[in-house]
Structure 1
């Protein structure tokens, strides 16, 4: 039985997959198996695999029918036999030759931990810009206290940044594709198992790649509202009244112009339950929204036309004067006049 199973759910994009496989081949830690489940409609992945020799440690399965994401991830995990399970998406790769060994060391050094994750090196495929995504200490403390805090934002990272023990093997919820990783992390950590974390980026992942599920789901009201409703239903009994949960709903209401439970319907999503909770939550959001400068401005311009003309005139003069001053401030002199080129 291998120490770790590297599970690669693949779908075309062989240019990315070649880099992924090469990064596995480069690892100094070699007590692993590689499992590739192929959801591609052609033989491009199978042809690519013929270029690599994993010394009998590779298991390739071409799905009889396309499973989609995340069921293809589950298919790979079901075939795993290692003590530790590691998803590696076909467009992610290890950052260096010691990365897999460091993943394994995280769990070896923390025998009480069932789950571990690392920082991520993110590369924008459009610009080449690189940045490191790394959870802060305050986020780590919040995660230990309440795993459901991930509802408010994913600071763990993509599934490729994680590794976990076979004993905590769960399946990804096939109803999801946007929040599927958060749901998975929450369920593992709700078991009470501690987690380990590496501040060193062990995984490199692309962003702004057209093929990514993230790009397909981003800014989709139907997907976001539907999946947040599913995830909330799972965790509401524990965290419904937590401020972080309310704030995340406020952000969604603002983003998708939700002013009542019926607002979900225009995105093809059922009105969320429980009705009383969401009616109160949306009412709270609307009150808060009115107290912002933007909200006060809306009120002002709604009543302004009804104000008598003698009162409107000085208001109009003041507004025009402010706009005139702001307009002059925007006309900055050329950089050279400041004696520098910044």
Structure 2
């Protein structure tokens, strides 16, 4: 049984996948397997994997029908035999030869942990890079309430995480925009969050990614928002960071009437406190609500006067 299963959900883009495979070949840590679950309509990914079989302990699986995101993520993970799961998107890659060793060392020190590392964003259009580190405040608060991740995903994309291969959780196929946060939140409720403070993964930022074409799309984000909130539990609104996220969500999508939510595909119940948020914002001129400080003060007042109603 390998220590780490590097699980790669792939779709076309073999030039990016090869960059990832090359970064795995040079790793100093060798107790791993590589699994590629291929959603591609042709054999370009298969041919590339065949070319790396002599260099890597690689298992290739071709999906009969394209599964899409995140079902293909789950498919790759389901094939894993390792003790730990290291999901890697096919366009991300390890920053250096010691990257996997750092994850492995951390896993051995913290066997009941959910691990994540700092990372480097690499921007497709400009070629520029930026190192991303979490705020200490967020790390501290997350230990007390994992749901604050919805306010700000300080962890990052799945490629910077590693978790036990315990079969307890799968990525929710009903989610696209919040799919990673949903998984992290569930993990963090039972596993200790452990942070590797060095950027050991390169994360490629391009317009072709799912997050790029789902961001700020009301028909995607609004139904997801309520699906996620229902899974998380309305009681999480007692945390002001989660409350503030919901306030900003309604403000940013200019939701000023409950019927707008139904128009975007959500047919379920809306909690009275959330309804009250929408009504309160509808009475405030947009130009004032758009001012950050004013919005924050209004949100805080609403939180103080409505927190007792959250059950």
Give TM-score scaled by structure 2 length: 0.88
| Unmatched runs of 5 consecutive residues or more in structure 2 | 292-311
SS of 2:272 mapped into structure 1: helix
- Residue in 2 that maps onto 1:211: 208
Please point out which of 225, 228, 232 is paired with 1:231: 228
Write the distance in 1 (CA, Å) between the matches of 2:86 and 2:174. Answer: 22
| Partner of residue 4, structure 1 | 4
CA deviations over 1:295-334 (Å, ceiling 9, x no partner): 8xxxxxxxxxxxxxxxxxxxxxxxxxxxxxxxxxxxxxxx
Q: Distance in 1 between matches of 2:42 and 2:290?
A: 52
* Offset of residue 275 of structure 1: 4.1
Preserved CA contact (<8 Å) 2:10 2:90: yes
SS at match of 2:170: coil
Question: In the alignment, is residue 50 of structure 1 matched against residue 50 of structure 2?
Answer: yes
Rounded to whole Å, the distance in 2 between the matches of 1:54 and 1:118 is 30
1:81 matched residue in structure 2: 81
> Which residue pairs with 1:130 in the alignment?
129
Establish whether residue 248 from structure 1 lines up as the match of residue 245 from structure 2.
yes
Q: Distance in 1 between matches of 2:188 and 2:73?
A: 20
* TM-superposed deviation, 1:265: 2.8
Of the three residues 194, 197, 202, the one matched with 1:196 is 194
Q: Any conservation in 1 of the 2:257–2:282 contact (CA below 8 Å)?
A: no
Mapping 1:28-47, distance limit 5 Å: 28-47=28-47
CA distance in 2, matches of 1:277, 1:98: 49
Of 258, 262, 273, which residue of structure 2 is paired with 1:261?
A: 258
CA contact (8 A) 1:261 1:272 kept: no
CA separation of 1:288 and 1:151: change in aligned 2, threshold 3 A: farther
The 5 A counterparts of 1:1-342 are 1-54=1-54, 57-111=57-111, 113-167=112-166, 169-191=168-190, 193-207=191-205, 209-266=206-263, 268-271=264-267, 273-286=269-282, 292=288
Structure 1 pair 54–205 and aligned structure 2 pair: CA distance change class (3 A): farther
Alpha-carbon displacement from aligned partner over 1:25-80 (angstroms, at most 9, x marks no partner) = 11010100000000001111011112213556111000011111000000011110
Residue 114 of structure 1 contacts residue 164 of structure 1 at CA under 8 Å; is this kept in 2? yes
Contact 2:25 2:56 in 1 (8 A): no
In the alignment, is the contact (CA less than 8 A) between 1:107 and 1:196 conserved in 2? no
Contact 2:119-2:203 within 8 A present in 1 as well: yes
Q: CA 1:294 to 1:23, structure 2 compared with 1: closer, same or farther past 3 Å?
A: closer
Residue of structure 1 equivalent to 2:306:
none
Q: Is the 8 A contact 2:148 2:241 kept in 1?
A: yes
Whether contact under 8 Å (2:34, 2:56) holds in the other structure is no
What does residue 302 of structure 1 align with? Answer: none
Distance 1:254 1:36, change over 3 A: same
Deviation string 1:231-261 (CA, Å, 9 cap, x unpaired) is 1111124312322122212222222210021
Could you report, residue by residue, the CA deviation over 1:259-281 in whole angstroms, capped at 9, with x for unpaired residues? 02111133x32255234232112
Q: 1:231/1:294 Cα in 2 relative to 1: closer, same or farther (>3 Å)? A: closer
Distance 2:173 2:208 in 1: 19
Q: Between Structure 1 and Structure 2, whose CA radius of gyration is higher?
A: 1
Q: Label 1:52 to 1:239 Cα distance change in 2 as closer, same or farther (>3 A).
A: same
User: Unpaired runs of 5+ in structure 1?
Assistant: 296-342
Query: Contact between 1:25 and 1:54, CA under 8 Å: does it hold in 2?
Result: no
The TM-score, its normalising length taken from structure 1, stands at: 0.81
**Compared CA separation, residues 17 and 49, structure 1 to 2 (3 A):** same
